[in-house]
């Protein structure tokens, strides 16, 4: 095959060489006038770039979002050093021009000192106004004015397929923007050993990595529709499955913290739980009863005066359903709580000393 193409290659070189020779001779005969003509010719063909409508929209949204997203450095005292050590890094979103910033609770938890870094390189010490591990949200405050705050949008209007922008400080790279779409809405994620479930989350394929927690998930109008909080990944890096707390839930949490100093949660008053393995275990047969259900929430203690105590639910009872939906364990139960509002009514089905019973309850804020 190489030999087959060789004559054509030689022919090309000969022709191309002839063109170059002709151009060189023409320029020599005309002196410098040839160069001027070429320059004039180039000026008549400018390359003009025109932004597309989508780019203009992204640019406007970015201009609103990036300045309002800060990096959050969390420091912790060390017994081996006179100065605090870095415990972790995350992101935060400025929601008022006088210094209120939203971030994740897990970003600031356990820290002794919080430093907030703006995109203009200014740094402030922050104080914690309030935080909540169940909502995984925290409100912090810096002593500053005229900050570039961003608007919280209406997360109930979010639709699958719409464009979103994730802004944060992944791996310490401040002011990083990634773009994607809403992959799903109302996602429920089970809780872990040290974390509560995440319910009603916005799922996105916009790249979210370590350090993005507490950052903004924005829409094309530059409004924050969610606070980035967790990713699903087999290797600690982004694989296009990230989740954000919806902005309407963020707004309610912020309002509660500013008004009450805490986030108010709908509750039923089950304050302690026994492990599920006690069901059917011979050592607990006397407490639980014969032939208990295989799955459910085993009650270990209830709060005095709480809705479940008033309904007659007590220690060793097993909650199996809430509003006809199964409760297989603690994660299911907490998911129901997080989806409920104070004043909502519910029907609980539960096992008690060998018999299945039901009770009507009203969700309330319970003093634990």
Enter the DSSP assignment of 171: G
Alpha helices in the chain (DSSP H): 2-30, 33-43, 53-65, 105-108, 247-260, 285-288, 307-310, 330-338
Burial class of residue 16, CB neighbours in 10 A (0-12, 13-18, 19+) = exposed
Say whether 221 is catalytic: no
Catalytic entry in 91, 155, 183, 213: 213
Catalytic entry in 73, 132, 136, 267: 136
Catalytic entry in 73, 91, 106, 340: 106
223 contacts 149 by C-beta, under 8 angstroms: no
Read off the tokens for 253: 């949490």
CA–CA separation, 234 and 236 (whole Å): 6
3-state secondary structure of 251: helix
CA–CA separation, 234 and 227 (whole Å): 22
Say whether 106 is catalytic: yes
Say whether 281 is catalytic: no
End-to-end CA distance of the chain: 83
CA–CA separation, 340 and 214 (whole Å): 24
Q: How many CB atoms lie within 10 A of CB 41?
A: 9
Greatest CA span in the chain, whole angstroms? 112
Q: How many CB atoms lie within 10 A of CB 154?
A: 13
CA–CA separation, 106 and 144 (whole Å): 24
Q: Which residues are catalytic?
A: 106, 136, 213
């Amino acid at each position: 095959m190489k030999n087959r193409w060789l004559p054509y290659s030689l022919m090309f070189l000969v022709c191309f060489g002839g063109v170059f020779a002709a151009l060189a001779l023409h320029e020599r005969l005309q002196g410098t006038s040839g160069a001027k003509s070429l320059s004039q010719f180039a000026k008549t063909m400018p390359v003009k770039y025109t932004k597309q409508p989508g780019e203009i929209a992204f640019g406007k949204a970015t201009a609103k979002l990036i300045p309002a997203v800060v990096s959050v450095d969390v420091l912790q005292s060390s017994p081996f050093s006179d100065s605090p050590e870095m415990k972790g890094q995350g992101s935060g979103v400025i929601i008022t021009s006088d210094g209120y910033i939203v971030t994740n609770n897990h970003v600031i938890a356990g820290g002794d000192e919080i430093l907030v870094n703006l995109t203009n390189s200014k740094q402030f010490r922050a104080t914690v106004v309030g935080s909540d591990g169940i909502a995984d949200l925290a409100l912090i405050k810096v002593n500053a004015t005229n900050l570039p705050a961003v608007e919280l949008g209406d997360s109930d209007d979010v639709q699958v397929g719409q464009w979103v922008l994730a802004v944060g400080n992944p791996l310490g790279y401040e002011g990083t923007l990634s773009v994607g779409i809403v992959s799903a809405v109302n996602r429920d994620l089970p809780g872990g050993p040290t974390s509560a479930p995440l319910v009603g989350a916005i799922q996105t394929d916009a790249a979210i990595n370590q350090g993005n927690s507490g950052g903004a998930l924005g829409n094309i109008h530059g409004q924050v529709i969610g606070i980035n909080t967790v990713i699903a990944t087999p290797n600690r890096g982004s694989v296009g499955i990230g989740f954000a707390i919806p902005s309407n839930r963020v707004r309610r949490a912020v309002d509660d913290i500013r008004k009450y100093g805490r986030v108010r949660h709908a509750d039923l008053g089950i304050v302690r739980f026994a492990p599920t393995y006690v069901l059917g275990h011979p050592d607990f047969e006397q407490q639980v009863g014969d032939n208990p259900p295989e799955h459910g929430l085993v009650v270990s203690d209830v709060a005095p005066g709480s809705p479940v105590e008033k309904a007659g639910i007590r220690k060793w009872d097993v909650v199996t359903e809430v509003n006809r939906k199964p409760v297989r364990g603690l994660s299911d139960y907490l998911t129901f709580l997080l989806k409920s509002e104070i004043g909502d009514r519910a029907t609980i089905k539960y096992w008690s000393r060998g018999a299945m019973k039901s009770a009507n309850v009203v969700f309330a804020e319970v003093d634990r």
